[in-house]
Chain A
Amino acid sequence: MIKALFNIKSAVTCGGILTILLLLPPFVPRFYIYLMALIFATVLLATSLNMVLGFGGMFQFHHTVFYGFGAYAFALMATKSGLPLWVGYIIAPVCSSLLGLLLGLITVRLTNLYFGMLQLSLGSLVWALAYRWYSFTGGDDGIHGIPLPDLISSSTGAYYFNLIVTVICLMVMYMIVNSPFGRTFQGIRDNPERCLAVGIDVQRQQLVGQVVASFFAGVAGTLFVTVEGSVFPDLMFWTLSLEVLIMCLLGGWFIFMGPALGATIIITLRTFVGIYTEYWTLILGIVLMLLIFFLPEGVLGLFLRKSGSADTKGVVDAAR
């Protein structure tokens, strides 16, 4: 599966897409620039979730709490502290990973569904705190008009910034997934008992995995602020987490670039369906049902299967 993406064909494809994205801004309307910058942030979020979900086999049901936490950390830094704005881009993800460590210390003691349900619940506590703590987080109004560094305060600036950060983060995550650490992770996904037997500290590995994933989710959170200039508690609400899970499922969560494709599809659909109807979640629900019934390996998984990559057969079986 990894080889299938690491050959010349896929390198050329990725390079081509990147070149197009770099050259695009002067030729498209501002709205699309904004939309694509938002997509980049979401792509990063979905891929960071997939690092622990698809490759680590952890039921990370509430991932966006780290995303929202990073966004809030950045917003609070920018509005309440006198520190230079760029510093927030480093400190906010670190805050997210610390939250990942804190929640992880409680949750990794459990496995599978227990893990996921507890994480969902603890993440909801963080959401509730952000929602209630009016004097500090602005409650359900959130924080608006967050100042950004001059260089990226225009929509084109934000576009390039988000694109570059996302590409760098994706490359780092790709290297992590293919490192011995990532291989161990996949081993745990496929057979935790055996990993334990050969001397791997499964819980510690999962904890580190969660910290790393929450770091990248925090980066995605800062990118969201770069696009929107505001934060609100919905960023940490659990339904958003499950929406990101849908993105992973839609793209195909055993393939590195799958969630990126899923995020692109979902955000695009949401934007354009939202123009015509307010019942977007109804449509999302129906899409999800159809997906689970007919396409459990995801869009990219289907594509790779049709294009005859033999490697994906096992992936497809695993997904079913």
Chain B
Amino acid sequence: MDLGTNISLAALVQQILIGLSRTTILFIVSSGLSLVLGVLRIPNVAHGSLYMIGAFFTYSIATLFGQSTLGFCLALIFAPLGVALLSLAVERGLFCHLYEREHLMLLLFTFSFSLVFGDAVKLIWGSDYRSLVAPSLLQGSFSISGLPFPRYNLFLLIIGPLVAAGLWFLTNKTKIGKIARAAAVDREMVGAMGINVSWVFAAVFVIGCYLAGLGGALVAPTQNITQGMDHTIIIEAFLIVIIGGLGNIWGALLGALIFGLTDSLGILFWPQFAIVFPYVAVITVLLFRPKGLLKSTW
């Protein structure tokens, strides 16, 4: 581990930009988790599985069109919708009967889905690695003072703020968003106002899962699509949600920034144990603010 000498400013900037594009994915996935956690009080372990399914859907749809630009665009639209549809079926069929149970039961119930989805993916797509090329427009890279920066990552850097703005609009400016925020604080009262809380919950659950699917669709061209990608992301998303404050979407953004940046900078300094850096950051945050950086909805 030798520091300083071989790390140029350009490499640092490059790594920060890559960290930020990683942050985009982490934010999209963990904001969905946070939304479900905040309103429905479900620690959804199956969230990672939905992310994985989103990536596999994207692969299948894009491959159907010969991995063309059109195919990728269609995949980006329809893969998350497919995930949302799946989650709607699960929510209406099974989850909605269990909201009164305690957290541990709900967690285990979502875990049972993660088990079933994991094997379902193995059944449908097999256990091989899959890879997807980005559409031609987003292939290749341009240089930042000599070091390459992939175009696709730039695309992610544009998508991230768009999703954040969309979520802000949804939670603050639309009726469903306002009802959902009210239901997060006091669900009985919202019910007493004559609002069908059950359907509000379903809507929030579906939106949260849509975000998981979107994250999976966006990540598909950047890495191997494989079994086990659900296990990694869900732990990261949990950490992000904890340091951000349960149920707080902006907390998820902040947590994703901390996690993404420490992760990518760690790779620069100590590649083999880069994974340690985000955890150290998380522990440091929690030592000072045990309930997360921003106010949780709990």
- Residues on A lying within 8 angstroms of B by beta carbon are 59, 61, 106, 109-110, 112-114, 116-118, 120-122, 124-125, 128-129, 132-133, 237-239, 242, 245-246, 249, 278-279, 281-282, 284-286, 288-289, 292-293, 296, 320
Binds A, one of B19-27, B187-195, B213-221, B284-292: B284-292
- Whether B279 and A132, one on each chain, are in contact in the complex, defined by CB atoms closer than 8 angstroms, is no
> With A113-B246, A114-B246, A249-B108 in contact, do A286 and B116 touch (Cβ < 8 Å)?
yes
Contact for B235 among A124, A249, A281, A282, CB less than 8 A: A124
- Whether B239 and A121, one on each chain, are in contact in the complex, defined by CB atoms closer than 8 angstroms, is yes
> With A121-B242, A122-B283 in contact, do A285 and B119 touch (Cβ < 8 Å)?
yes
Residues in B whose Cβ lies below 8 Å from that of A286 = 112, 116
Decide yes or no whether B238 CB sits under 8 A from chain A: yes
Contact for B115 among A114, A116, A129, A288, CB less than 8 A: A288
A-B contact pairs, 17 of them (CB 8 A): A59-B103, A109-B286, A114-B242, A114-B246, A117-B241, A122-B283, A129-B273, A129-B276, A132-B272, A132-B273, A278-B122, A279-B119, A285-B114, A286-B112, A288-B108, A289-B112, A292-B101
B183 to chain A, nearest CB (A): 18
Contact for B94 among A132, A249, A281, A289, CB less than 8 A: A289
Residues in A whose Cβ lies below 8 Å from that of B70 = none
Known: A249-B108, A281-B118, A293-B97. 16 other contacts (CB 8 A): A109-B286, A109-B290, A113-B246, A116-B104, A116-B107, A121-B282, A124-B235, A133-B273, A245-B108, A246-B108, A246-B111, A281-B115, A281-B116, A285-B116, A288-B109, A292-B112
- Residues on B lying within 8 angstroms of A by beta carbon are 43, 45, 94, 97-98, 101, 103-105, 107-109, 111-116, 118-120, 122-123, 231, 235, 238-239, 241-242, 246, 272-273, 275-276, 279, 282-283, 286-287, 290-291
A111 to chain B, nearest CB (A): 10
B79 to chain A, nearest CB (A): 23
- Whether B108 and A292, one on each chain, are in contact in the complex, defined by CB atoms closer than 8 angstroms, is yes
Contact for B279 among A121, A246, A288, A289, CB less than 8 A: A121
Give the CA-CA distance A285 to B122 in the complex, in Å: 14
Which of B97, B98, B235, B279 has most A Cβ within 10 Å? B235
Residues in A whose Cβ lies below 8 Å from that of B238 = 117, 120-121
- Whether A282 and B116, one on each chain, are in contact in the complex, defined by CB atoms closer than 8 angstroms, is yes
Give the CA-CA distance A119 to B231 in the complex, in Å: 15
B271 to chain A, nearest CB (A): 10
Residues in B whose Cβ lies below 8 Å from that of A117 = 43, 238, 241-242
- Whether A106 and B122, one on each chain, are in contact in the complex, defined by CB atoms closer than 8 angstroms, is no
Give the CA-CA distance A242 to B118 in the complex, in Å: 15
> With A238-B235, A245-B108 in contact, do A128 and B246 touch (Cβ < 8 Å)?
no
Give the CA-CA distance A117 to B235 in the complex, in Å: 9
Residues in B whose Cβ lies below 8 Å from that of A281 = 115-116, 118-119
Residues in A whose Cβ lies below 8 Å from that of B112 = 284-286, 288-289, 292
